[in-house]
């Protein structure tokens, strides 16, 4: 496994692009395979996670090719997957596994899902339980991989009240419901990422979203839509953009612009939080791309103050709490993150790993089952460094501590950094290009 050393940097400056959005990239391949005909995808994230989804679709018979800097997917329409005894290895990709479970559940397929050690520990019951209601037969423990699913060619239309707000749960049910003869409905406590709904609508599906009287959200999809073959441009990933943005905010004398970033309202909770903390962030050149709002994001060095991030914002920034915690170390006062229990079920227990790592740096942290608090040292506070962090194969833990190492007096060495490629290929090169001092060890 590789290790990277992060060293104190004078300043960060410049314009950069970050990889295509991970969530949208997965969905472009999966929904593209259900379109009627060939589509082209520009700026697909070529990470290990997304390639695992592409490889799984190829095993299911989808023709997917790379053409120079673009990708082509030959869709075969709704309900046209068939076959048995497929074995789908999704590596470390929770998104790929959970969304493809929905695709398989709504198809005349039986397939066994497997993954790496990390993915095999992640909970799947939240997906398999609602999929059973569509008529899919689930073998195995149903909560951990490997899991075998025998799909239903014509799945039952269901109305599912989800106990949690999860884009993966919602998307899996919607993908199964595409080949249903009726309406598929999901009700979730708060609105989670809506990339699946936006892309299905862009391709021509009849899908509606509205808020109920109790403030929960109802999403309804008509089955058997004819999905058009439309080309896609993938915007830059706001989660990936968060690393250079936060690095610029906490590194003195810095100004960085990240181009063409997805600023979907349900993805920018981190940026709202940083602005509340006093960060100098500007959104320019706003425009729409394939039903998604995008913009260029500029961030400058800023003096931050602690804040309380409400539970209601968690769904819009669940992947960004580790990097927010790094920003919080440079804030005056405490930053309290509420309603974040979901972090305990990611690639690692991110609450535990963030708190343990920060404590090694002399940062006071507090945690409960569903909250995390970081007591900052202030913009001028000194963080000594000179520690090693084991990422435990969690790409966001690795990148977050590498960003913090840019402002510590001594280096931070992060072990097991290979999985950074699962979401942000060329992370080190991109960061060094704006002035960071990251070195492969």
Would you please indicate which residues are annotated as catalytic (active-site) residues? Answer: 319
Residue 410: which of 436, 387, 390, 435 has the closest Cα?
Answer: 387
Determine contact, residues 346/394, Cβ cutoff 8 Å. Answer: yes
Any idea what DSSP says for residue 78?
T
At which residue do the structure tokens 């940062």 appear? 363
Determine contact, residues 376/331, Cβ cutoff 8 Å. Answer: yes
**Widest CA span of the chain, in angstroms?**
62
CA torsion, points 394, 399, 405, 406, in degrees to nearest 10?
180
Extract the tokens encoding 27: 């969905």
Burial tier of 182 (Cβ tally within 10 Å: 0-12, 13-18, 19+): middle
At which residue do the structure tokens 């060095």 appear? 301
Extract the tokens encoding 57: 């679709």
Q: For residue 385, what are the CA distances in angstroms to 151, 245, 316, 342, 390?
A: 52, 21, 31, 29, 14
C-alpha 199: how far from chain center = 16
Classify the phi-psi angles of 244: left when phi > 0, otherwise alpha if psi is within -120 to 50, otherwise beta: alpha
At which residue do the structure tokens 């194969």 appear? 393
């Amino acid at each position: 496994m590789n290790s990277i050393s992060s060293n104190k940097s004078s300043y960060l400056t410049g314009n950069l692009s970050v990889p295509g959005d991970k969530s949208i990239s997965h969905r472009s391949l999966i929904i593209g395979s259900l379109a009627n005909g060939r589509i082209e995808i520009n700026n697909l994230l070529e990470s290990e996670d997304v390639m695992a989804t592409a490889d799984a679709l190829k095993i299911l018979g989808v023709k997917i090719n790379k053409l120079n800097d673009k990708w082509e997917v030959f869709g075969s329409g709704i309900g046209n997957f068939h076959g048995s005894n497929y074995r789908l290895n999704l590596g470390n990709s929770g998104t790929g596994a959970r969304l493809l479970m929905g695709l398989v559940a709504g198809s005349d397929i039986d397939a066994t899902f497997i993954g790496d050690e990390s993915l095999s520990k992640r909970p799947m019951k939240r997906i398999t339980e609602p999929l059973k209601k569509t008529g899919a037969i689930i073998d195995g423990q149903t909560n951990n991989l490997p899991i075998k699913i025998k799909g239903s060619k014509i799945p039952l239309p269901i109305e599912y009240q989800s106990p949690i707000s999860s884009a993966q749960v919602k998307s899996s049910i919607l993908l199964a419901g595409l080949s249903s003869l009726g309406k598929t409905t999901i009700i979730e406590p708060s609105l989670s990422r809506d990339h699946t709904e936006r892309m299905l609508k862009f391709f021509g599906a009849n899908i509606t979203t509205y808020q109920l009287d109790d403030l929960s959200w109802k999403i309804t999809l008509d089955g058997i839509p004819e999905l058009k073959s439309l080309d896609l441009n993938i915007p830059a990933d706001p989660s990936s953009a968060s690393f250079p943005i936060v690095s610029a905010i906490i590194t003195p004398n810095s100004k960085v612009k990240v181009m063409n970033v997805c600023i979907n309202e349900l993805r920018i909770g981190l940026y709202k939080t940083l602005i509340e903390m006093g960060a100098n962030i500007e959104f320019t050149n706003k425009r729409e791309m394939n039903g998604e709002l995008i913009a260029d994001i500029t961030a400058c060095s800023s003096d931050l103050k602690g804040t309380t991030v409400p539970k209601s914002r968690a769904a819009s920034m669940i992947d960004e709490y580790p990097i927010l915690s790094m920003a919080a170390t440079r804030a005056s006062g405490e930053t309290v993150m509420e309603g974040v229990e979901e972090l305990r079920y990611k690639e690692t227990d991110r609450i535990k790993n963030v708190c343990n790592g920060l404590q090694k740096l002399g940062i006071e942290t507090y945690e409960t089952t569903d909250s995390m608090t970081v007591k900052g040292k202030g913009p001028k506070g000194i963080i000594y460094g000179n520690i090693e962090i084991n990422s435990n194969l969690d790409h966001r833990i690795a990148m977050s501590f590498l960003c913090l190492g840019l402002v510590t007096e001594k280096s931070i060495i992060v072990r097991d950094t290979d999985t950074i490629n699962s979401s942000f290929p060329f992370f080190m090169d991109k960061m060094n290009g704006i002035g960071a001092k990251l070195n492969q060890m």
